[in-house]
Each structure stands twice: as structure tokens, then as C-alpha cells.
């Protein structure tokens, strides 16, 4: 009987773990800020909350190096302190040339990791896993010398909920 219970636990545990959905890096959707910090093993830290369209960033990784460029990672939480989105943004904010190089580099790296994108145009590339949508995007506004590249990770359920409003 004990062996049967152990076998069931071993078989069902991965299914239960995936039910929340894997987010960016070592995180899972629905984690609270302390769980995200722990999951990121010393790379992330709790910060003063910053407002985003989708919620509040309460955890951050500064100066993450990806292919020789520096990025900031913000973990976004809802009003119940559940992880709902992760946004990686380049620390470069002015040079469209550098942003274009970073966009190409991130596109290549994300394609190696997630395969062929589901959508691609000159400013946005999107991949989907079983639980997560990954969106690479860039913007450049020459008139104000602003340029930005970012990668957003969010649960597929958010994309489905947004689409149902159309």
C-alpha cells in the first residue's frame, strides 16, 4: 500500500507542479514575491513597488547579462501578490542601432530555446509554450532619442482572457 501511494505521488507530483505553469527562469505563475526571490537563488531582490500596466513590480534582477548586453528583469504581481508577468528590458535607452542588435540577438536566442515563433514582424516576435507566452518587442522614437527592447513573459491564460474581450 505504501509503495502504491509513493508511486502515485511520484506520478502526480509533476502534473501538480505544472498546473501553475512555468514562468520565466525558475519561477512559476502565482508565486509570491518571497517565493520568486528564493527561486531565483540570490539574483533577485525585493524592491519598492513600481507601477506597470498589469500590476506592480516588487522583485527585480539588475544588470542581468545576456549576450554581452545588460538588462533589468522586473517581476510583476497582481493585487493578491501573485506573479502574473515578467518583463526583461534593455538597460540601453537611446541608441536604435544597439537596440536593433539586441533585438536580433534575443530573437536568435529565444528561437534556439523555444523554436520557431508563432508570430513575427519587424517589431514583435511571439512564442508560446504550454503555459507561457513570450513576446520580444522593440521600439525606437528618433525625435526624442528613445529606444527600447524588451521580452515579456506572461501566462497563456492572460492572453486568452485578453482575446476573449475582442
The tens digit of pLDDT for each residue in 56-113 reads: 999 999 999 999 999 999 999 999 999 999 999 999 999 999 999 999 999 999 999 9
* pLDDT at residue number 15: 34
Domain containing 130 equals 23-164
Residue 134 to residue 35: CA distance in whole angstroms: 21
In a domain, 15, yes or no: no
The model's pTM: 0.84
- Domain total for the chain? 1
In a domain, 8, yes or no: no
- Alpha carbon 142 to chain centroid, angstroms: 27
In a domain, 83, yes or no: yes
In a domain, 3, yes or no: no
Supply the mean pLDDT for the chain. Answer: 89
In a domain, 158, yes or no: yes
Return the percentage of the chain with pLDDT > 90, whole number. 81
Amino acid at each position: 500500500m505504501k509503495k502504491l501511494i509513493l508511486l502515485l505521488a511520484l506520478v502526480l507530483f509533476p502534473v501538480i507542479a505544472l498546473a501553475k505553469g512555468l514562468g520565466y527562469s525558475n519561477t512559476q505563475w502565482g508565486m509570491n514575491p518571497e517565493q520568486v526571490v528564493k527561486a531565483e537563488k540570490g539574483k533577485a531582490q525585493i524592491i519598492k513597488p513600481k507601477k506597470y500596466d498589469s500590476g506592480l513590480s516588487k522583485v527585480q534582477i539588475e544588470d542581468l547579462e545576456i549576450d554581452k548586453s545588460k538588462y533589468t528583469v522586473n517581476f510583476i504581481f497582481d493585487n493578491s501578490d501573485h506573479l502574473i508577468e515578467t518583463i526583461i528590458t534593455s538597460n540601453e535607452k537611446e541608441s536604435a542601432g544597439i537596440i536593433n542588435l539586441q533585438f536580433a540577438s534575443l530573437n536568435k536566442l529565444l528561437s534556439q530555446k523555444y523554436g520557431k515563433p508563432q508570430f513575427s514582424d519587424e517589431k514583435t516576435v511571439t512564442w508560446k509554450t504550454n503555459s507561457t507566452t513570450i513576446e520580444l518587442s522593440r521600439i525606437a522614437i528618433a525625435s526624442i532619442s528613445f529606444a527600447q527592447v524588451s521580452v515579456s513573459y506572461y501566462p497563456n491564460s492572460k492572453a486568452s482572457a485578453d482575446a476573449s474581450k475582442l
